[in-house]
Structures are given as structure tokens and as C-alpha cells.
Amino acid sequence: MTGYSKTLQNANGIVYSLEIKGVNHKYLNVSFSLPSLFSSFEVKALPIIRDYVKRGSVFVKADIRGEFEADLVKPDIALAKAYYKAMNTVKNELGISYGEINVTDILSIRELFKMELDEEREQLIWNGFEKVLEAALHEYNSSREIEGEKLYEYLKGYIDEMENLVKSMKTHEEKNREKYEELIRERIDKFSNIELDRERLEQEIIMMIQRADIGEELSRLDAHILRARQLMESNEAVGSELDFVFQEIGREINTLSNKSKIREVLDLVVRGKTLVKKLREQVQNIE
């Protein structure tokens, strides 16, 4: 299920900007865009995100600014001396006599400057980030709940229609069985000039008619529809189980397609297959 939130908060003189985007995905896949200084926050943030989101491809983008930046950059004096010494060595070895090595030459070396946070300040920044993250996740889930209400109505409508299809199929159950028996006897009549064991033949006909009975599939469809309704009323993450239930409904519909011998049932089966496709497409949006 898609979701979005954007949060801007100030805590202890630190400004946190946090954006969360989520799209449909079979599993939970979280990616981050954080300043390199706070890359360790990703590991701490993952368990929190998992508490709020069970499925989806989630992207978390954050920016953190504050007074701590004033003394964030630390020069590596020892490394600067080493570079200066190396530069002079090159100059002397090559016999370069003009120009002096100046501070601009030294400052152009990026490796001489590092951003470092002491442990206490990093923990302070994390404490604020954790609170902002939870607030953003609350907002993110609120946006998904709005979409979820619409999705619930779609699924409910499809399931209601599927239930009505099953009820209609039940009214044609006896006619379908009679049609199947008629087709079998017609085919047997074509071999009337062949000597057959009539008693054994009657037994085979009865068994074939029983196998052609669609009552068992219709009963299982009733059970699957009931289970789907129960899952849709649950407050738990049911997307995976709902997907399985809709898959099973599809299997029963396919079996009915093979067993159906009258146009009335076949027309209903075609509509049933369309509904299963819609159900399985929409369930991918459910956590």
C-alpha cells in the first residue's frame, strides 16, 4: 500500500527534516538517504520501521542541521604535515625553484578534513531523530489508512459479487450434472454395437457423474469467501494470507471451468475468473 509523510521538527536546537515514501511490495524493503555522518542511524531505525510497516518498499530521506555543525569539521594536522613534507620532497627532487607551497595547496586536499561527532552528541541527535521518525511513521500510516478504507470497499464489492456468483452456480448444479450424464450416454450409444459389460458400464457412469459434480467446489468457495471476510475485518497484517485465499478461490474457479457443461455455469465461471484477477491485483496493496 502506498503512503507518504513529510515532517519538520526542531528539538534541542537541532532541525530534523524527514520524508517517508512507500509503494507496494511483496516484502518489506527499506532504503535510506541520510547524511554520511549519521549512517549508523539506519541500523537503529530499521526495527522501529518494522514495528509500523510490515510490507512495502519504503524510502526514508532525512536531513539534520544544527549548532553542532559549527565545530563538526576536524583537521588532521599530522596528515597535513605529511602532505607538506611530501610536497617539498617532490619540489626538491624535481628541482622546482619557483613558488612556495602555501595554505591553498594544503586546503585543497579533502582527506585532511574529517567530520566527527563525539558519542554523547551523537546519542543526543539520535534521541531527537527517533522521536521525529516515530511521528513521521504515524503520519505515514495515517495516509495509508485513508487508502486502505477505499481498498476495503473495492475488495468487499468484489467478494460480494463472487458470493452472488456462487449462489447462482448452485441454482444450476443439478442441470449441469444432468447435462454431463446426457453427454456420457450419447457417447456410449455410439458404441452400442460393441458388446459391453452393462453392469460395469453403469458403475463407471455413476463414478464419472460424481466426479463431474460441482457441489464440492461450490462448498469450498463458500468457505474461502467466509475466510476472506474474516481476514478483512482483522486488525493484523493479513495481506499474505488474503493473497493465498484468493489464489485458492482461483483454483476452485478453474476446476469449475473444467467441470461445467452448460452455458449458464460457464458464463458465471468466466466472470469469476475476472473477479479473481481483480482480487489478486488489489491484495498486493494490503499489508
User: Domain residue spans in the chain?
Assistant: 3-69+124-141, 73-114, 144-283
**Cell triple for 223:** 468457505
Whole-angstrom CA distances from 176 to 172, 209, 210, 214, 251 are: 6, 10, 12, 8, 19
- What is the per-residue pLDDT for 78? 85
How confident is the prediction along the chain (287 residues), in pLDDT tens digits per residue? Answer: 688 999 999 887 889 999 999 988 878 899 999 988 888 899 999 999 999 998 889 999 999 888 776 676 778 788 888 888 888 888 888 877 766 777 777 777 777 777 677 788 888 889 999 999 999 999 999 988 888 888 889 999 999 999 999 999 998 888 877 777 777 777 666 666 656 566 666 666 666 666 667 888 999 999 999 999 999 988 887 888 999 999 999 999 999 888 887 888 889 999 999 999 999 988 887 77
- What is the per-residue pLDDT for 26? 77
- What is the per-residue pLDDT for 96? 75
Phi/psi for 103 (5° steps) reads: -65, -30
Give which of 72, 73, 65 is closest to 14, Cα–Cα.
Answer: 65
Contact 38, 65 (CB under 8 A): no
Contact 14, 122 (CB under 8 A): no
Q: Which residues of 230-259 are buried (b: 16+ CB within 10 A; e: fewer)?
A: ebbeeeeebbebbbebbebbbebbebbeeb
- What is the per-residue pLDDT for 69? 62
Could you give the count of Cα atoms lying within 13 Å of 206 in the half-sphere of its Cβ?
Answer: 6
- What is the per-residue pLDDT for 277? 94
Per this entry, what is the length of the chain?
A: 287
- What is the per-residue pLDDT for 200? 66
- What is the per-residue pLDDT for 56? 86
239-259 helix and 215-232 helix, angle to the nearest 10 degrees: 160
Q: Report how far residue 130's alpha carbon sits from residue 127's, in angstroms, rounded to the nearest whole number.
A: 5
- What is the per-residue pLDDT for 192? 62
DSSP 195: -
Q: Is 194 helix (H, G, I), strand (E, B) or coil?
A: coil
Please state whether the predicted TM-score (pTM) of the whole model is above 0.75: no
Q: Which residue has the cell 535510506?
A: 32
DSSP letters for 151-185 = HHHHHHHHHHHHHHHHHHHHHTHHHHHHHHHHHHH
**Cell triple for 102:** 602555501
CATH topology of domain 3-69+124-141: Ribosomal Protein S5; domain 2 (3.30.230)
- What is the per-residue pLDDT for 85? 86
Q: Report how far residue 70's alpha carbon sits from residue 10's, in angstroms, rounded to the nearest whole number.
A: 17
